[in-house]
Structure 1
Amino acid sequence: MGLAHVHWLLAGIDEIAAFRLVFRDDRTTDVRGTGRLVWHGRTLVWTPGGPYAHLRYTVAINRQRPPGTHFDSYATPDWIATRALHLFPEINVRFRTGVAAARARLRFRLPRGWHSATALAALPDGTYLVEEPGKRFDRPRGWLLLGRIARYRHTIAGLEVTVAVAPGSPLDVRGLFRLYGKTIPLLVGILGAPPPRLLIVSAPDPMWHGGLSGEDSFFVHGRIPIRSPDKTCSYLHELFHVWQPFHPSADGRWVSEGLAEYYSLALPYRAGRLSPQTFVRGLALFERYGRWGSDLTRTRVPAALNNSAPLVMHWLDHEIRRVTDGHRCLDDAVRSLAHEGGTLTTASFLRAINQAAGRDFTPLFRRHVYRGEPPPERAREDDAGVGH
C-alpha cells in the first residue's frame, strides 16, 4: 500500500534525442526502461534510442511536510491525495531540430470502485489531456484525488469548478459553491478571465492542516471552515494564487500573499456575506497578529506575510480611493498587474499603485513596506462605514 507504479509509453518519438528527468527526492525506486539510462545523483538522463520506448518506476506516495507530522501527499486504503509533481519528475527534453511538439495523455489504472479527479481536461476514452503551456513536451500538473471519493461540479462565471472530497472530510460543499457564486464574478473583474477549470481537493487527517495551491487546483484540509476564525477564507486565498496571472519574485512574495489574504476578507464583504462590523474585526486581527518593524520585501515570517501585508493592502486601497475621490482603488492596480503578467516584484507593484493613484506612493512604501510601520487605524472605520 502507498505505492504508485508509473509507466510511460512513448510512440513516434524519433524527434526526441534524450530526456533529462530530475527527481525531487529518494521516493522513486525500481527505475527501468528501454534505451540508455544514466544517473547523475537524482537526475536521470534517458536516451530512448528508438521511435517507441517505455519507462517504468515506483513512487512511495506518502510525503511528510516539515515541520510536524502531517503530509502533503498521502495514501490510505480508500483514497490518495497528491500532486502530479510527486509522481512525474521535472522534465527537460532535447529535441532534434525542426519537429512539432509532442502530445500527451494520462490514464489511471485504479482498484474497482475508485474514481479520479484531476485539474486536466477529461476525454471520452477515460484518459486526460495533458497540456503544459509553453512546453513542447507536456507533463501532468496540479493536484490529484483518487479513491472512493465524491465529486461535485458547477460552472461559475465561465469557470468549471470541481470539488473532490475524500471520505472523512467534513467540507460544506454547498456552502463553498454559494460563496463562489458571489465572489468568483468579482474576481473576474479584478484578475481577468479565469483558468479553464479549477479542482479543489479536500481530505482529512493526516493531510496538511492548511491550504496548498497547484496548477489549476489547490488542496485545503477538510476541517478548515469556509470562514476562518480571523474572518478570512482559505478557499479564496488559494483561489487567488491559482488564478493570478503573474509569478512573484523573491521580493514580490509579500505582494502575492498580501493580496491573496486581503481579498479573502474583502471579497466576502463586498459580496454581502460579511457585515461591516465583521470586516473591521478582520482588519483589527491583521494588526493584532501582524509582525511589525520588519521589511516586508525580505521577511519570510508568516505573521508578516499573512497579517501585516494584507493590512498594508487595505491601507493602499484606502489611500488610492482618498486621493482619487473614490474613482480608483487597489483593484485598478491589480488589474494592471494581471494584464502585464510575468514576474511580480515590489517595483512593479509600486508602479501599478502609482499609476492607479496618479501620484507617487514611494513615501508610503518606505513607511509601511520597508520599515514595517502599521497603517493608521482610522482607515478601517472609514472604509467599512462604521465607528467604534
Structure 2
Amino acid sequence: MSTAPQVATHVTTAEQAHPVVGAATALLAAYTPGERFLATPTRTLLTDGVHAEVPHDERPLPERVATTLAAARRAGINEPYVVGAVPFDHTAPAALTVPETLRTAPPLAADPLIALPTETPDPAGWQLRPVPSPEEYGAGVAAAVDRMWRGDFSKVVLARTLELTAPTPLDLPAMLQRLARRDPNGYTFALPTTPGRTLIGASPELLVSRRGNKVVANPLAGSTPRSDDLAEDVRRAAALLESAKDLHEHSVVVDGVHQALATFCTDLSVPPRPTLVRTAAMWHLSTTVTGTLTDPDASALELACALHPTPAVCGTPTATAREVIRETEPFDRGFFTGVVGWGDANGDGEWVVTIRCAEAEERGLRLYAGAGVVAASDPAAETAETGAKFRTFLNAVGVEL
C-alpha cells in the first residue's frame, strides 16, 4: 500500500454535453484483472493502484469509509473516491479501496462504439456443477412456502449456484466486454475481493444513489424470462405487469425501501404501480423512488447500509429470512446480494445490488442466482427463474445450462 502522497488523475467527461466517442469503451478495453472497473448509467470508472484500503473493525462501515477518504484527501488526493464491494453479511470484511488513480468517462450507453460486437466465446471444455441440485433447490422453496402458510414469515429470497470449471485460465477482460456490451444500460463491474478472486457481473438494480441532496432508489422484484420471439416476449412482459404474485412480491420490497428512506428523506415519491425494466435475459418489475435528503452528512453509503439487505435479496422479516437462508442454502453467499459501487468524500455515490454475478478464480467461476419466494410461489417456477437469471453470465462464457 502506498504511503507517499499521491495526486489522483481524473479524466472527467461524464458531464459533457457531447461525450467523446470511444472514451467509455476505451476504459472498458483497458481493464486488467486486479484493477477495479465499474460502469453505471451515469459514468464509467477504471482504477489504477491502491492508495488505501478501508479497514475492517468494529466501527460502522460508513464511518470507516469517511475516515479513509478524509485521510486520502490530507495525503494529497484532491478528489478521493472509494470503489469496491460490500458482502451480503454486514459483519464480514468489505473489499473497498481508495485508488491511487481514477479515470472516468461518460456512461457506456452514451458511447456509440459499445454497439460493436465482441468475439464469440469458446464453450468447449467447460464443466458445470449445480450447488444445490435443481431438485434440492425446489425442495427448499417448497419448505419455505409451507412455513409461510403457517405464518412464520412472508418472503424469503433463496439462491442457488453453478460452479463452472474451464480447461484454461479465465479471460476476465473478454467476459467483462461481453457482459457490458450485452447490457450497456445496466451496472457492469469487475472488482478484486480477495487475493486471486474477482467479483464480476452486470446488475440491473440500483440500491441507492445520492447526488447533493437528491436520493434515488430503484428496487426490482418480480421477474420473468425474456423470449427470442417478439410476440411471446411482449406477452410475458404484459403478464408480469398483471401477475398478482409478482406484484405482491414487488410491493413488499418497495414498502421496505420506502420505510428505510423515510428516516433520511423528505418529499419521498413512490409511484403507485411498477413499470418494467428489461435486460437481455429478463423482464423485471421496477419502481423508482426519489426523495430529498434532510441530513447533508448522510452519505450514499450510509443510505445503502440502512437499506441493505432489502426484501428483494433477503426477505421479510429480515432476521427470520436471514435464518431461513442460512438453514437452506448450502453455500456462503459472499459478495452475492451485497452491494458494489463508488462514493466520494462529499457523500455522493452509487451503490448497486450485487446480482447477475460470479466470483472468478484462475479456472473457476461460481455463478449465483436467486428468486423471491412468497406463499404463492411454485418450486418449479422459481427453479426455472433462477435458471433464466444464470443466462446473463452463461452467455458471457458461451455455455448452455
| TM-score, L = length of structure 1 | 0.24
| TM-score, L = length of structure 2 | 0.24
Q: Greater CA radius of gyration, 1 or 2? A: 1
Q: Which has the higher contact order (CA 8 A, sep 6+)?
A: 2
